Structure 1
Amino acid sequence: MARYHIETYGCTSNRGESRQIERRLRDAGHHRVEGAEEADVAILNTCTVVEKTERNMLRRAEELGDETADLIVTGCMALAQGEEFRDADVDADVIHWDEVPEAVTNGECPTTTPDAEPILDGVIGILPIARGCMSDCSYCITKKATGKIDSPPVEENVEKARALVHAGAKELRITGQDTGVYGWDDGERKLHELLDRICDIEGDFRVRVGMANPKGVHGIREELAEVFAENEKLYNFIHAPVQSGSDDVLGDMRRQHQVSEYVEIVETFDEYLDYWTLSTDFIVGFPTEEEEDHAQSMALLRETRPEKINVTRFSKRPGTDAADMKGLGGQVKKDRSKAMTDLKMDVVAEAYDDMVGETHEVLVVEEGTGDSVKCYDEAYRQVIVQNADDHGVEVGDFVDVEITGHSTVYAFGEPV
């Protein structure tokens, strides 16, 4: 697991976001250390209220970059003035705070505890459906803690989901190391069956499916896409981390899937759904990644155009096979990460720009900064509604909004 150090500056909202980041990191098996020099990754949650603060944030980012192996910059200044860090040549991933936990995991699966139970966090119900995975990735340390897939019966998970809905959950988040292989230990993948059954539960709520590796999804892609198409309660969203556009690198990663299988998943969901969100992950700078391999990853990103993309620079995890490989230089990883991140921002911005002028139904899931609220539309794209009190909009509401603009990784909506 990774050791992380986190620093938070600014308002109560920033502190709240840092708490959520830490909660997800702890759930994934990572642990906090006090000093950046002891950490595998440092997280700087920034403020940008005045010019002096901006200068302090840049200075602190430079200091943290010298003290730790990897630096992630998030928060207000990262979103509003991310180019300032790049112009100052700060060696960091500058990303939205929602993307921080995935970036810290280095492409690894999330980790749940052996006795993981559903929890209700506001109107968000978190339902771990299984523990473990069927993968043996050469860079992943998580498998040492989780073992192979262990899937409780469908009915057991349905009852847990029903209890969350009765307790007030408006959004159910289906989680696990690899949701796509749920049921594989019993000889049959059952994710599509489970989702169909959960959507039959009485109530007005939405369901988001957590990470599912392409190999597991590929074998049930038709059945899964059909369930999505038939159930309005399901967010039209899948997170299928491809990690590389090169079959050679995927082989060295021991990722089990090939690029063609990932593409076939995308094509299948395109056939069944008119409006949906593809989320994926790329690891850049894997020890055996050549320039041509990186170019293939860039080409795959352009081809499939996922609306949510996590870009992670490879870092070694102790005890993994990849840790014994001769690594690439830090500047190579930095350059490739920057190139892919720049392309990512163009692709994501285009997706949100296409939404402007459209009307979408959104679910309000939590309070945002000031008098704003954070919502998700039917494809699990984040929409911010400002002046929520004036509109009478509260957490847990379903609201029709017109998309009026965007800030690259989320949209702004006006209730109609």
Structure 2
Amino acid sequence: MARYHIETYGCTSNRGESRQIESALRDAGHYPVDSPTDADVAIMNTCTVVEKTERNMLRRAKELEQETADLIVTGCMALAQGELFREERVDARIVHWDDVPSAVTNGECPTPGPGVEPVLEGVVGILPIARGCMCNCSYCITKFATGRIDSPPVEENVEKARALVHAGAKEIRVTGQDTGVYGWDEGERKLPELLSRICDIDGDFRVRVGMANPKGVHGIREELARVFAEEEKLYNFLHAPVQSGSNAVLGDMRRQHQVSEYVEVVETFDSRLNYWTLSTDFIVGFPTEEEADHRQSMALLRETRPEKINVTRFSKRPGTDAARMKGLGGTVKKERSKAMSELKMEVVGEAYEAMVGTTQEVLVVEEGTGDSVKCRDEAYRQIVVQHAPEYGLEPGDFCEVEVTGHQTVYAFGEPV
């Protein structure tokens, strides 16, 4: 038996990869420890989405190298930029996600599979439904690690979801680099079917769908919105990263969708759902973004009014086509990012202000600071309940709360 310590960085999909690695390790009799200094092997699951993250990954790898006898590095940065760890003389094995369990004990450990007991994060189970995407974005380095979409059968993912529910999951997070194109490699659009099948599993739980690019969602928008409207277990939450409000910039990004397609997706969900959350991403300061393009992005934000918005300054990633473009100055990116972030807070704040005085059914997902708990309502909006022990609330509980106030990006509530 081996003692392992695992650290995960980046998106929910990456965390799902780590949970599958852990499931296989525990199934083989190995056990986790909290500190790398107490481990026989440390596993670092890396991210490389922006340059700052890349620097942090190298720094942490060097620290782990000193703290443990054996270091395995996996994840997006390891697979897309493994040479950087060698150039920095990090003494580590670069291993694909699927090969980590066997690498821990030189082939004696099974690889993750649907029959392995899942590992939860509290009451949350992460379900990676596929790896890779159908895009070839000019700025993206992750595609070098994940490749094109590879979709396991619907039944396999349903069985994994059922195992999560049986293990105690109250929230299942369906993840992938692009969930909207699940099944496209097999010539089918399978996401609506998969979500319906998961919701048919016996149990009281909720399902959140992870990032789905607008192009993939656009082709299934009517059917997908219908599933959201019909399935009570599905959070009314859609993460569709538009990245820019300018068709010219989207073309340079090779994003595949047009602004109009993104808007049509939003309009379709608006027509089906009375209360839902639109989440989106904007990249500010792409090399070809002119001031007029930036204004178009700001206008799109005002028009569609997403309740959750990720604003990221463009960062050149090595090996991508966008890295060879002449970039904008740091001052320009900073000013545009500041302007969009201010608008974001205005739009999101108005959405949460409108919730005050309403009553929402929520799922307690995790403990917060002090004696508070973090909850999610049917639209996946975060509501914090303070003094939770007084109400006997703990993760996994369902209850009704009255929204009493908000802090711009989350609300406060009291059980009724």
TM-score by length of 1: 0.75
Q: Which amino acid aligns with 2:222?
A: E
Secondary structure of residue in 2 paired with 1:121: coil
In the aligned structure 2, how far is the partner of 1:330 from the partner of 1:26? Answer: 30
Tell me if structure 2 keeps the 8 A contact 1:119–1:127. Answer: no
Tell me if structure 2 keeps the 8 A contact 1:399–1:415. Answer: yes
Secondary structure of residue in 1 paired with 2:97: coil
What's 1:249 paired with? 249
In the aligned structure 1, how far is the partner of 2:287 from the partner of 2:373? Answer: 42
In the aligned structure 2, how far is the partner of 1:364 from the partner of 1:215? Answer: 33
Following TM superposition, the consecutive aligned residue runs of length 4 or more in structure 1 with deviations greater than 2 angstroms are 19-32, 37-43, 112-119
Tell me if structure 2 keeps the 8 A contact 1:25–1:31. Answer: no
What's 2:311 paired with? 311
What's 2:199 paired with? 199
Q: Which amino acid aligns with 2:281?
A: D
Tell me if structure 1 keeps the 8 A contact 2:8–2:46. Answer: no
What's 1:113 paired with? 97
Please state how far the C-alpha of 1:238 moved relative to its aligned partner: 0.4
Tell me if structure 2 keeps the 8 A contact 1:280–1:308. Answer: yes
What's 1:30 paired with? 46
In the aligned structure 2, how far is the partner of 1:42 from the partner of 1:353? Answer: 36
What's 1:216 paired with? 216
Change in Cα spacing, 1:280 to 1:391, as seen in structure 2 (3 Å) is same
What's 1:323 paired with? 323
Cα displacement string for residues 301-347 of structure 1 (whole angstroms, at most 9, x for unaligned residues): 00000000000000000010000000000000000000000000000
Secondary structure of residue in 2 paired with 1:189: coil
Tell me if structure 1 keeps the 8 A contact 2:287–2:327. Answer: yes
Secondary structure of residue in 2 paired with 1:401: strand
Size of the alignment, in residue pairs?
Answer: 327
What's 2:363 paired with? 363
In the aligned structure 2, how far is the partner of 1:355 from the partner of 1:293? Answer: 32
Secondary structure of residue in 1 paired with 2:360: strand
What's 2:152 paired with? 152
Cα displacement string for residues 258-278 of structure 1 (whole angstroms, at most 9, x for unaligned residues): 000000000000000000000
In the aligned structure 2, how far is the partner of 1:276 from the partner of 1:342? Answer: 23
Change in Cα spacing, 1:225 to 1:325, as seen in structure 2 (3 Å) is same
Note if 1:284 corresponds to 2:278.
Answer: no
In the aligned structure 1, how far is the partner of 2:52 from the partner of 2:383? Answer: 37
Please state how far the C-alpha of 1:394 moved relative to its aligned partner: 1.0
**Aligned ranges 1:11-410 → 2 under 5 Å:** 27=15, 30=46, 40=54, 113-114=97-98, 119-410=119-410
Q: Which amino acid aligns with 1:113?
A: W
Change in Cα spacing, 1:404 to 1:158, as seen in structure 2 (3 Å) is same
Secondary structure of residue in 2 paired with 1:341: helix
In the aligned structure 2, how far is the partner of 1:260 from the partner of 1:176? Answer: 24
Tell me if structure 2 keeps the 8 A contact 1:116–1:128. Answer: no
Please state how far the C-alpha of 1:121 moved relative to its aligned partner: 1.1
Please state how far the C-alpha of 1:217 moved relative to its aligned partner: 0.2
Which one has a bigger Cα radius of gyration?
A: 2
Change in Cα spacing, 1:270 to 1:300, as seen in structure 2 (3 Å) is same
Secondary structure of residue in 1 paired with 2:394: coil
What's 2:89 paired with? none
Change in Cα spacing, 1:328 to 1:163, as seen in structure 2 (3 Å) is same
Change in Cα spacing, 1:22 to 1:406, as seen in structure 2 (3 Å) is same
What's 2:76 paired with? none
Q: Which amino acid aligns with 2:251?
A: G
Secondary structure of residue in 1 paired with 2:138: coil
Please state how far the C-alpha of 1:21 moved relative to its aligned partner: 6.3
In the aligned structure 2, how far is the partner of 1:249 from the partner of 1:229? Answer: 33
What's 1:6 paired with? none
Q: Which amino acid aligns with 2:217?
A: V
In the aligned structure 1, how far is the partner of 2:251 from the partner of 2:368? Answer: 42
TM-score by length of 2: 0.75
Change in Cα spacing, 1:285 to 1:143, as seen in structure 2 (3 Å) is same
Tell me if structure 1 keeps the 8 A contact 2:279–2:306. Answer: yes
My pick for the range that moved more, 372-381 or 118-127, is 118-127
The Cα RMSD (Å) is: 2.2
Tell me if structure 1 keeps the 8 A contact 2:8–2:14. Answer: no
In the aligned structure 1, how far is the partner of 2:55 from the partner of 2:290? Answer: 25
Structure 1's unaligned 5+ residue stretches are 1-18, 44-111
Tell me if structure 2 keeps the 8 A contact 1:134–1:181. Answer: yes
Change in Cα spacing, 1:214 to 1:119, as seen in structure 2 (3 Å) is farther
Change in Cα spacing, 1:26 to 1:159, as seen in structure 2 (3 Å) is closer
Please state how far the C-alpha of 1:119 moved relative to its aligned partner: 3.6
Tell me if structure 2 keeps the 8 A contact 1:209–1:238. Answer: yes
Secondary structure of residue in 2 paired with 1:355: coil
Please state how far the C-alpha of 1:120 moved relative to its aligned partner: 1.4
Identity of aligned residues (%): 77
Secondary structure of residue in 2 paired with 1:344: helix
Please state how far the C-alpha of 1:170 moved relative to its aligned partner: 0.1
Q: Which amino acid aligns with 2:208?
A: R
Please state how far the C-alpha of 1:41 moved relative to its aligned partner: 6.2
What's 1:64 paired with? none
In the aligned structure 2, how far is the partner of 1:140 from the partner of 1:113? Answer: 19
What's 2:107 paired with? none
Secondary structure of residue in 2 paired with 1:141: coil
Please state how far the C-alpha of 1:113 moved relative to its aligned partner: 3.5
In the aligned structure 1, how far is the partner of 2:178 from the partner of 2:203? Answer: 27
